[in-house]
Chain A
Amino acid sequence: MPNLNPPKKVYDVCIIGSGAGGGTAAKVLTEDGLSVVMLEAGPRLNPEKDFKEHVWPYELAHRGAGIGAKGRGQFNDEFLAPNGFWEIEGEPYTTAPGSTFNWFRSRIEGGRTNHWGRIALRFGEADFKARSTDGMGDDWPITYEELSPYYDKVESYIGVFGSKENVPNSPDGVFLPPPRPRCTETIIKKACDSLKITCVSSRLAILTQPLNGRAACHYCAQCGRGCLSASNFSSSQVMIPPAQATGRFTMIANAMAREIVVGKNGKAEAVSYIDKLTRNENRVYAKAFVVAASACESARLLLNSRSSNFPDGLANSSGVVGRYLTDSVGSNLGGYFPQLEKMPAHNHDGVGGSHMYMPWWRFGKKNDFLRGYHIEFGGGRGMPGVGEFEGVCMENEGYGVGLKQKCRSTYGNYIGFAGRGEMIPNEKSYCEIDPSVVDKWGIPVLRFHWQWGENEMKMAEDMQETFRNIIETAGGTVLGVSKRGQAPVDISDGGSIIHELGTVRMGNNPKTSALNRNCQAHDVKNVFVADAAPFVTNPDKNPTLSIMALSWRTSEYLLDQARKGQI
């Protein structure tokens, strides 16, 4: 029963979601004078209470494994910043028969920017011109040149370290100085040099110098836990506070958006949401709406916003909402490096992430697959954690002082490699509203369909071969089996790289896209989408930096429209 009291207040803009896209929009819109209300499906963040920065495993009864060991060996272990989940009780999603899809969702102010790897890569010129380049997929309605000034603005504000390298189609940005390499990175860099694989400084949203009131990194390698000095980027600590400081920003936490309500004039006029604390349904009114709930959650909201004018969901006269779903192609391989055995004990922490990476180094060359991938790698003498010695114990077996010493002598000598490649959208990968399942708030849930294409399988095989070459060239031993052509290819499950996007794509043709070149709905002029849902391609660069640049650009367009009285 909608609660329509007290008398309605109409905000200039309602933003749904507080992550990279929503946070950027909140900052840009409020600083230019608009009043903004933001709905966040989780609680407010309280870093002093929520973060486990600098906590040792032995200071926690579960040592990081979490209650019932549910976090053992998981990305979202006990140390991770709060409320990032693979499964949310009472908020399920389903997968179609034969499909596997994993959906990581954060229910917390700042969304997944509390949990991301801080990898901040610009898309390249060719990434916006996919179809023109190789005939597959589609071109974006905008070019790199159009987005480039917004990359500059984002990098200058949030701080990204890196080095200028002129790598084709991996553009340089506004960089802070990079940190020195760790030993693991030094030996891999040498191997890559001899293999002619480009290996350069990573580009991470972590401050190596003080910037805009934030302290420089103190090199504890714990970015994923959340950073009390906000030396890494999160929307919660870097985008929301300046919005709040304008006095024009209101956040409604624990608010699960159910539907965007359309008025008699055909424009959106309110968002109907469930207050998770009271289970009451409320409405918040605004003149314009920025949907930034994460690509699939945004598609879900639009598809669930059905009305007589929009029977297939809001902004979906084209039928593309939920379609063109992609994730990065992921493949992993590890190696053991005996030369590291002689390293003395030393501080190997560094920033929370790789100091070096391999951008796609075969751009424009003839390969047996289209598009490309980059490589991330890490290992060495990090803080020991649960599950870390399982492999050594399994391999060596036995027990006693000998096993204890074996664990010590192998500690820190492993390096793992992870490829992140571009998936080409296909007809078999999409999400839709499940016809029979609702979540505990009564909102119909998403059903995922997923299938990798032939190109992705070839790419994953190529990753494995590259990893093996690097490991062996660097004097290491490949762990496990990896042989070309051997089935099954090591390829990640859909969604598990957490780069899912494309579900509310932009384009110039209203018949084949949901949003125009300003991320404004073709069908409803006061609805915008500002996460990764508008992306037309999913290049071999992690999406977050581009989400922020595109959201900044969309927000400036919205401001311009507001000034002209168009909204």
Chain B
Amino acid sequence: MAAETVSRRNVLKSLTMGAVAGSVLRAIPLEAAAYAHGVIQAEKANAKAGEYSPKFFSAHQYKTLRSLCETIFPADADCGGAIEAGAPEFIDLLTSENAEFQLKLGGGLMWLDSTCTDRYGNAYLDSSPQQQTEILDLIAYRKNAETDGDLGHGVDFFAFLRSMTSDGFFTSEIGIKYLGYVGNTFLTEFPGCPPVPGI
């Protein structure tokens, strides 16, 4: 990371020195800015992705978290899933820094395991696929907590995890592409709304 920052700064500095002749303003020209960002992106792409070791969750909890994230946003024909999107790493990082998240997610994962153990005799990951689906179908909908109050904790946990997984998925490179966001570019002119009947 340090090397990237330094090189980014150097690129921008050299561009800035050339650019400000004739202007006292602290600005660099458009082409230079575009070029510099291209350089940064190339550097990012070359950075090696190492094996991730969780900062907050235990190895077992993290394995469960990964499984749940991928179940919430699985890979399909159009695009990869939450694991490819880096959602578990993102959630672990934020949880390591936030006491409220630690209670909700750390506590929630333990609730899930103990509930599965009560119901099926095994922790969530060791339960059968049918059992996993059964418990998730119970905690994925608020209305189930209305009929069975014991599910309330699980429903809250799952709702929060679902929201955090959506954050991790849709802020990833594959998630953004999946949505069809095509901006963050340098345009010389804004084209406006494309012609579509009724708009």
Are A345 and B86 closer than 8 Å at their CB atoms? no
Are B98 and A54 closer than 8 Å at their CB atoms? no
Chain B residues positioned under 8 Å from A183 (CB to CB): 193-194, 196, 199
Are B198 and A241 closer than 8 Å at their CB atoms? no
- Measured as residues with beta carbon below 8 angstroms from the partner, the interface class of chain B is 35 or more
Are B184 and A403 closer than 8 Å at their CB atoms? no
Chain A residues positioned under 8 Å from B175 (CB to CB): 384
Chain A residues positioned under 8 Å from B199 (CB to CB): 183, 186-187, 339-340, 343
Are B182 and A346 closer than 8 Å at their CB atoms? yes
Are B74 and A63 closer than 8 Å at their CB atoms? no
Q: Does B76 contact A (CB under 8 A)?
A: yes
Given the known A-B contacts A213-B27, A215-B27, A241-B25, are A345 and B180 also in contact in the complex, defined by CB atoms under 8 Å?
A: yes
Interface size on A, residues (CB 8 A): 85
Per the bound structure, the CA–CA distance linking A500 and B21 in Å amounts to 39
Chain B residues positioned under 8 Å from A72 (CB to CB): 167
Are B193 and A397 closer than 8 Å at their CB atoms? no
Q: Which of B89-97, B112-120, B146-154 contacts A (4 or more CB under 8 A)?
A: B89-97
Contact of A342 among B8, B181, B196 (CB under 8 A): B196
0 or 1 for each of B123-167: is its CB under 8 Å from A? (1 = yes) = 000000000000010001110000000000000000100110011
Contact of A218 among B13, B30, B76, B176 (CB under 8 A): B30
Are A182 and B192 closer than 8 Å at their CB atoms? yes
Per the bound structure, the CA–CA distance linking A343 and B73 in Å amounts to 24
Per the bound structure, the CA–CA distance linking A191 and B79 in Å amounts to 37
Q: Report A200 CB to chain B, min CB distance, Å.
A: 16
0 or 1 for each of B41-72: is its CB under 8 Å from A? (1 = yes) = 00010000000000000000000000000011
Q: Does A248 contact B (CB under 8 A)?
A: no
Q: Does B16 contact A (CB under 8 A)?
A: yes
Chain A residues positioned under 8 Å from B180 (CB to CB): 345, 381, 408, 411
Given the known A-B contacts A386-B167, A399-B162, A400-B72, are A220 and B185 also in contact in the complex, defined by CB atoms under 8 Å?
A: yes
Chain B residues positioned under 8 Å from A393 (CB to CB): 159, 162-163, 166
Report the nearest A residue to B81, measured CB to CB.
A404
Report the nearest B residue to A342, measured CB to CB.
B196
Chain A residues positioned under 8 Å from B183 (CB to CB): 220-221, 347-349, 381-383
Chain B residues positioned under 8 Å from A58 (CB to CB): 86, 171-173, 176
Chain B residues positioned under 8 Å from A408 (CB to CB): 178-180
Q: Does B24 contact A (CB under 8 A)?
A: yes
Q: Does A238 contact B (CB under 8 A)?
A: yes
Q: Which of A228-236, A431-439, A515-523 contacts B (4 or more CB under 8 A)?
A: A228-236
Per the bound structure, the CA–CA distance linking A525 and B33 in Å amounts to 47
Q: Report A90 CB to chain B, min CB distance, Å.
A: 20
Are B27 and A229 closer than 8 Å at their CB atoms? yes
Q: Does A47 contact B (CB under 8 A)?
A: yes
Are B184 and A383 closer than 8 Å at their CB atoms? yes
Q: Report B93 CB to chain A, min CB distance, Å.
A: 6
0 or 1 for each of A54-73: is its CB under 8 Å from B? (1 = yes) = 10111101111101110010
Per the bound structure, the CA–CA distance linking A238 and B25 in Å amounts to 6
Are B167 and A65 closer than 8 Å at their CB atoms? yes
Given the known A-B contacts A212-B25, A228-B12, are A384 and B97 also in contact in the complex, defined by CB atoms under 8 Å?
A: no
Chain A residues positioned under 8 Å from B178 (CB to CB): 404, 408
Are A398 and B141 closer than 8 Å at their CB atoms? yes
Given the known A-B contacts A48-B13, A350-B190, A403-B72, are A384 and B176 also in contact in the complex, defined by CB atoms under 8 Å?
A: yes
Are A218 and B186 closer than 8 Å at their CB atoms? yes
Chain A residues positioned under 8 Å from B169 (CB to CB): 404
0 or 1 for each of A394-428: is its CB under 8 Å from B? (1 = yes) = 10011111011001100110000000000000000
Report the nearest B residue to A180, measured CB to CB.
B192
Are A69 and B74 closer than 8 Å at their CB atoms? no
Chain B residues positioned under 8 Å from A67 (CB to CB): 97
Q: Does A319 contact B (CB under 8 A)?
A: no
Are B28 and A229 closer than 8 Å at their CB atoms? yes
Report the nearest A residue to B87, measured CB to CB.
A63
Q: Does A98 contact B (CB under 8 A)?
A: no
Q: Does A179 contact B (CB under 8 A)?
A: yes
Per the bound structure, the CA–CA distance linking A390 and B166 in Å amounts to 7
Per the bound structure, the CA–CA distance linking A59 and B25 in Å amounts to 29
Per the bound structure, the CA–CA distance linking A63 and B26 in Å amounts to 28
Q: Does B187 contact A (CB under 8 A)?
A: yes
Are B24 and A245 closer than 8 Å at their CB atoms? yes
Report the nearest B residue to A400, measured CB to CB.
B74
Given the known A-B contacts A220-B185, A345-B180, A408-B178, are A215 and B196 also in contact in the complex, defined by CB atoms under 8 Å?
A: no
Per the bound structure, the CA–CA distance linking A220 and B86 in Å amounts to 25
Within A234-255, which residues are at the interface with B (CB < 8 Å)? 236-238, 240-242, 244-245
Contact of B184 among A213, A349, A389 (CB under 8 A): A349
Q: Report A342 CB to chain B, min CB distance, Å.
A: 7
Q: Report A439 CB to chain B, min CB distance, Å.
A: 26
Are A397 and B171 closer than 8 Å at their CB atoms? no
Report the nearest A residue to B136, measured CB to CB.
A399
Q: Does A97 contact B (CB under 8 A)?
A: no
Q: Does A181 contact B (CB under 8 A)?
A: yes
Contact of B181 among A242, A340, A384 (CB under 8 A): A384
Chain A residues positioned under 8 Å from B74 (CB to CB): 400-401, 404
Report the nearest B residue to A221, measured CB to CB.
B183
0 or 1 for each of B1-28: is its CB under 8 Å from A? (1 = yes) = 0000100110011001000001111111
Report the nearest A residue to B158, measured CB to CB.
A399
Chain B residues positioned under 8 Å from A345 (CB to CB): 180-182
Per the bound structure, the CA–CA distance linking A215 and B169 in Å amounts to 35
Chain B residues positioned under 8 Å from A244 (CB to CB): 24
Chain B residues positioned under 8 Å from A64 (CB to CB): 171
Per the bound structure, the CA–CA distance linking A220 and B190 in Å amounts to 10
Given the known A-B contacts A350-B190, A389-B170, A390-B166, are A54 and B179 also in contact in the complex, defined by CB atoms under 8 Å?
A: no
Report the nearest B residue to A350, measured CB to CB.
B190
Given the known A-B contacts A63-B171, A343-B196, A387-B167, are A228 and B28 also in contact in the complex, defined by CB atoms under 8 Å?
A: yes
Are B190 and A344 closer than 8 Å at their CB atoms? no
Given the known A-B contacts A386-B171, A394-B163, are A228 and B33 also in contact in the complex, defined by CB atoms under 8 Å?
A: yes
Q: Report B95 CB to chain A, min CB distance, Å.
A: 9
Q: Pick 8 A–B contacts, CB within 8 A, sort by A.
A: A48-B9, A63-B167, A69-B101, A214-B27, A238-B25, A350-B190, A385-B171, A407-B170
A residues within 8 Å of B by Cβ? 47-49, 53-54, 56-59, 61-65, 67-69, 72, 179-183, 185-187, 212-216, 218-222, 227-231, 236-238, 240-242, 244-245, 339-340, 342-351, 381-390, 392-394, 397-401, 403-404, 407-408, 411-412
| Additional 17 contacts, C-beta under 8 A, given A221-B183, A348-B183 | A57-B172, A58-B172, A69-B101, A181-B192, A216-B30, A219-B189, A220-B187, A228-B33, A229-B28, A231-B30, A242-B24, A343-B194, A344-B194, A347-B182, A389-B163, A399-B73, A411-B181
B residues within 8 Å of A by Cβ? 5, 8-9, 12-13, 16, 22-30, 33-34, 36-37, 44, 71-74, 76, 86, 90, 93-94, 97-98, 101, 136, 140-142, 159, 162-163, 166-173, 175-176, 178-194, 196, 198-199
